[in-house]
Amino acid sequence: MNTLSKDAILALSSVCFSTKTNTILDDVTCTARSGAILAIMGPSGAGKTTLLNVISGRQKLTSGEITLSGVQFGKQLRRRLGFVLQSDVLFSNLTLWETLYFTAMIRLPESVSKEDKLQRLEEIIDALDIQKCRNTVIGDNFVRGLSGGEKKRASIASELLTDPDILLLDEPTSGLDSTIALSLINQLKGVASCYNKTVIVTIHQPSSQIYHLFDALLLLSHGQVAYFGEAHEKPLEFMEKLGNLCNPLYNPADFLLAVLKLEKTKLDELVQMNKTEQLIQPCKGKDNAAFIDENERNADVKVKAGDLYVLPTKQSTNTTITLDAVDLDNAQNTQAKWPTNVWTQFRMLSWRNYKQSKSRIFEYHDLIYFAVTAAVCGVLFFQIPKDADVFRDRMGFIFFFITFWTYQPVFQAILTFPTERCIILKERAGGAYRLSAYYFAKTVSELPLTLVVPSLFYTFVFWMSGLGNVRQFFMTWPIFMLSVFRAQGLGMLIGAFFTNMSVAMLVGNIVIIISMLFSGFITQKIPWWMDWARYISQIQYPLSAITIITLQGLEPISCQYPSVSLYPTCLYDINATVTSSDILKEAGIVLPLHCYISMLACLLVILRVLVYIVLRVRR
């Protein structure tokens, strides 16, 4: 299943990247060839991560050109590229094995059998020495899980599973001890040489052992190329020409980084000398590639398509895998847009989202919180009479649980959706699946989970408060759940639109408070010029609909009772009676029941569609 990539040269020509205020990359020219590791070194802020983002297409270059063997390195070719971010972006509630299983099932082609995918998964786990933590959850700040080094190897394993032709790694050794870091770079070296892959790593301060594993070296200083060429001895010879001598006992990497922190004038001399001496050599073809002769490759592992190769893993020495060559020259025309079909994407995304959301929705402390709140409400509003003088209490109780289950889904979605959004953007950038498949999978997979806790809460408080009979319960429960799903959609929309968490929380509070103020319960004396605003209140529709249903069957009340004597009907005829319609009209609920329900359903659909549009536009 590991493919032997064709010889290719990834070339960057005069690449520049600027923001409104700063120039991050300035005239960067270099090449990376298949079968070798290109290391990008430089102090913090030199532009290393930005360079990888530009290569991967996550940031658009300001000027310059990127080609792969002379072909424009566009979106289709980038689908054969793997990118390991500096920060490990993983779903926290999945185990390491589940994370890799999802990647294997959704990012490896349909033509590969499930058995082969699982075999490859196990080989990657063994090779990266993460067997002991395969059933450990990824974890986050609140859930104890993998260590930093284990998370990094999990991220690398996810990309290696996809068998990319080009692998970009941003600080892959961060958080690893020297032994594991060396083992990891050795593994990457094996991937590059055995399968003819192009590997590009940014690395801050490698050990001397790691440094000597690199084939080519790119030194960046303030976004400019201070050196590009062969690693090992030539960088030191280059620095000597400007009087920078390396002590033989020093780590060459430490020496080079120290030179890159000299004053600006000396760094400018390095940049200029790198250009004038023309150390950047053009690619001369397969038989005379830049920096390392073709004969220096591991000839004994160079195999043809269809041959068998013994994958070098830590624990296995006899596993054979059939190789199939990938023609990069025709990749733009022949490669399928998606590795798997839409049904596989939907099924696996639903499976993963269910696993991730289950622990979040059924979090132990939240369940206690909901149970205590329901118990207090049940006691406080126990068996409310169906009298006009306590109508405001009944409506206030309905207002409370509608508002309570507006706040909860909104802020839960705001807090969790931005985290998921980072993962989705990363996976989508690699061409893993359709946005529509992700969105429909998220909506469907969370449906049964979202139903459980609100339904139990509503069932308890409905019967404790005596809001109605069995028929009224089954009429109001769907309306209540529509309101919960509507609130969840609102939270997802805010979380998708605002990437700043503080701003998102502020907007969520503003929207809910405005909905409360214009819901018709807090105040009914709305100025005439603001009367239209009640129709933008999302709380008004479920509040009015449930209130109408729970008042059905209310016996007419004679105007002789003091509690209804001030109703307009009683002002003209003391012998008249006050009906449920009069009470609802006095409370400002004047539209038919079907209007409130249909508007609530429309809000639900509109919010969900807007979430998809925002995700599509703000990708």
Please report the beta strands in 518-597, taking only residues with DSSP state E, as ranges in sequence order: 557-558, 577-578
Number of Cα atoms under 13 Å in the Cβ half of residue 95: 11
Residue 70 lies in a domain: yes
Compute the distance between CA of residue 496 and CA of residue 504 in angstroms, rounded to an integer.
Answer: 9
CB count within 10 Å of CB 292 equals 15
**485 and 583 fall within a common domain:** yes
Residues of the chain with pLDDT under 70: 1-3, 277-336, 388-389, 563, 565, 619
Q: Which of 262, 280, 298 is the C-terminal boundary of a domain?
A: 280
In this structure, the answer to whether residues 260 and 395 fall within a common structural domain is: no
- Same domain? For 83 and 206 the reply is yes
The pLDDT assigned to 73 comes to 84
305 domain-assigned: no
Q: Are residues 275 and 356 in the same domain?
A: no
Report pLDDT for 85.
85
Final residue of a domain: which of 250, 280, 310? Answer: 280
Residue 182 lies in a domain: yes
Tens-digit pLDDT profile for residues 186-220: 888 888 888 888 999 998 888 888 988 898 988 88
**Domain housing 39:** 9-89+151-280
Q: 237 and 383: one domain? A: no
Q: Does 432 share its domain with 564?
A: yes
| Burial class, 614, CB count within 10 angstroms (exposed 0-12 / middle 13-18 / buried 19+) | middle
Sign of CA dihedral 571, 572, 575, 580: negative
Residues 271 and 406 in one domain: no
Strands (E), 301-434: 308-310, 320-322
| Domain membership flag for residue 101 | no
Q: What is the CATH number of the domain that holds 43?
A: 3.40.50.300
Angle at CA of residue 52, ends 219 and 615, nearest 5°: 160
| Structural domain includes residue 296 | no
User: Residue 460's CB: how many other CB atoms inside 10 A?
Assistant: 16
Choose the final residue of a domain: 280, 295, 327: 280
pLDDT at residue 2, rounded to an integer:
59
Return the pLDDT at 388: 67
Q: Which pLDDT does position 98 carry in this prediction?
A: 92
**Residue 311: per-residue pLDDT:** 35
Residues 369 and 466 grouped into a single domain? yes
Q: Is residue 429 part of a domain?
A: yes
Same domain? For 477 and 372 the reply is yes
Same domain, 59 and 185: yes
Tell me the pTM.
Answer: 0.78
Please say whether the beta carbons of 165 and 80 come within 8 A: yes
DSSP 140: -
- Regarding whether 553 and 459 lie in a shared domain, the answer is yes
- Produce one character per residue of 234-243: b if its CB has 16 or more CB atoms within 10 Å, e if not: ebbebbeeee
Element at 418 (helix H, strand E): helix 391-429
In a domain, 98, yes or no: no
pLDDT tens digits for range 381-416? 888 877 766 788 888 899 999 999 999 999 988 888
Is 174 domain-assigned? yes
Q: How many domains does the chain have?
A: 2
